[in-house]
Amino acid sequence: MIRRVVSTAALASALVAAPLLVAAPASAIPACKAGYQCDRVYYTDATHEEPVGGFTRFCDGSTISWGTTTSFQVTTQARCQ
């Protein structure tokens, strides 16, 4: 009897906790398309008023980055000539 109560309580706890363990999807960072230069600027908040970092992948494949990364970002791409 006690074993049934304990196993039922454990099952109920697992069912309640299971949705909490599912990872939220990561915010997708757009991949740089072949033949494009990509620029990404990171901002302090959602207003995108104060840049705090950046990243560029040039047409030759080289990269440069500065500052810090945040979840507030804007990515632009331009076709290589």
- Summarised one tens digit per residue, pLDDT across range 3-20 is 554 445 444 454 444 444
Strands (E), the chain: 36-43, 51-57, 63-67, 72-79
Q: What is the pTM of this model?
A: 0.61
3 state SS of 56: strand
pLDDT category, 34, cuts 50, 70, 90?
A: confident
Q: Give the residue carrying structure tokens 């302090």.
A: 44
